[in-house]
A = this chain, B = another copy of it.
Amino acid sequence: MRFTDVRAASLALIAPLSEEDCQVQSMNDASPAKWHLAHTTWLFETFVLEPYEPGFRPFDADYRMLFNSYYHAIGPQHARPRRGLITRPSLAEVLRYRTEVEARIRRLLEQPDCPPEVARLVWLGVHHEQQHQELMLTDILHLLSCHPCPARAVYAADAPQPALADPAARTDVALEGGLVRIGHAGEDFAYDNETPSHRVWLEPYVLRSQLVSEADWLEFVQDGGYQQVRWWLSAGWDWVQQQGIVAPAYWRQSAYGGWMGFSLRGEVPLSAQAPVVHISLYEAAAYAAWVAHRTGQRWRLPTEAEWEHAVRTRRDALQQVDDAAWQWTQSAYLPYPGFRPWDGPVQEYNGKFMADQMVLRGGSCATPAGHARASYRNFFPGGARWQFSGVRLARDLDA
């Protein structure tokens, strides 16, 4: 059963970690692993058990506030940047919380008169937990990256790494466009922000079959790409200057002068097979401008409609779609025509974030298997880098 498997997968993620590793919040955007474990459980307790379990009583009344992420309709929330201060309950208590809520969910589902809404919400909770599984990995990576001694800061020797691609096999995939349809339709699960399915007009375009690699990116770095204003969006240049950015997040100058990456497996050399990851939208756009200048072809980031249409129609021609890195698009995260958020407290799940963020498409090595789909819309602010975010280049067919 999917519920049981997904719940178990969350626990597997903390196997290599100590209680201390699970406690700490290394920046405002990230959350402690313990918090992720509790919050994903909170969603089942609050959205499923509370309204539907006969004689519901909370596991612990404090948790309603402590592990509420951002649902104002549910009530007050512990402030996000202070999640790491919650040393109590302990990890052990959170694990008991998980066990009990899981059992109660199973009991509820097994009841003969269980309303279909319960299954629907449990299903949402499963997808929600998968999202947090990816965040657990990216947040742990960020925490470990803060340690001044990299050899101490390995998550696991066999931790997920982005899927590789052979640069010799790289091709350009041409698409005709026209009046195409994107967005989710049908009975399968999808978030509300993927709906409704709708028509979009696309001009003919080209998409790269592979993501930009670490070796590609190194050329940009070595060509002074981070020091030349001409490649950068204005907001990107401000960001580079203010933050002192000179390379992707987690790239480090080695003692021997070259660059190393830092990953869940610790420090690793750069490679021509590996996609560049942990870059911002600003870096992605600057890189595309630099490539366009060098090649004389107007390479750019794809729109989300271009990306989705290509994946729907030419999936066979594309590599690293959802197993390497999320791919920045040049589309802002905004409602589709006719968008209606879900009803009830889950109304806050997606819609209220439709401002000041950009869409990423695909999936990454940290995305649980089966979680991604062609219509999936991931979204982050233009300066976010702690996700596994990379670039797939596009251009107009005649550009």
Give the interface of A toward B (CB within 8 A): 18-24, 26, 34, 62, 65-66, 70, 72-73, 78, 82, 84-91, 143, 146-149, 152-153, 179, 198-203, 229-230, 232-236, 281-282, 285, 298, 300, 303, 330-332, 334-335, 337-338, 340, 352-356, 382, 396, 399
Contacts and interface: CB of A to CB of B under 8 A. Distances in A.
A88 B334 CA distance: 42
Contacts of A152: 62, 88-89
Copies in the complex: 4
Given A72-B229, A199-B201, A355-B281, A147 B86 contact: yes
B282 A91 contact: no
A90 B199 CA distance: 55
A18 B20 CA distance: 10
A88 B230 contact: no
Contact of A73 (B84, B91, B230): B230
Smallest CB-CB A-B distances: 5 pairs: A332-B332, A20-B87, A20-B23, A85-B146, A235-B355
B281 A233 contact: no
17 contacts: A19-B23, A20-B87, A21-B87, A24-B24, A24-B87, A26-B85, A66-B148, A70-B234, A72-B230, A86-B147, A88-B153, A179-B201, A198-B203, A233-B355, A235-B353, A236-B355, A356-B382
B84 A24 contact: yes
Contacts of A282: 355
